[in-house]
Amino acid sequence: MPQDYTITRNDAHDRFETTVDGVLCVLEYRLRGDVMTITHTGVPDAVGGRGIAAALTRFALDDARREGRRVVPACAYSIAWLAKHPEYADLVDRG
């Protein structure tokens, strides 16, 4: 399904976000040095099932790669998504 929304990094609120059909969707994170911990992925039911959480996760991981960050998946969605996308395994901080 084509993506018809824009994802941005909102540093003031420690999240990646997009608004779809007027509904805010987020991937929240915490930064400690060069490690980004994904703490929550939230897509309300009103816009669920469109691949928005996957797009937010991919965007966040691509951003982490560009910034030279390691990633700790701490929410259930990010853990499951990473398990299905081994191309991002090199980012996971196993420390």
- Residue-level pLDDT, tens digit, the chain, 95 residues: 457 789 999 999 999 999 999 999 999 999 999 999 999 999 999 999 999 999 999 999 999 999 999 999 999 999 999 999 999 999 999 87
CA dihedral 92, 94, 28, 50 (to 10 degrees): 40
| pTM, full prediction | 0.94
The SS3 assignment for 69 reads: coil
CA–CA gap between residue 55 and residue 25 (Å, rounded): 11
Domains of the chain: 8-90 (3.40.630.30)
CA–CA gap between residue 40 and residue 38 (Å, rounded): 6
The β-bridge relationship of strands 70-73 and 23-32 is unpaired
Count CB neighbours of 87 within 10 A.
8
CA–CA gap between residue 34 and residue 70 (Å, rounded): 6
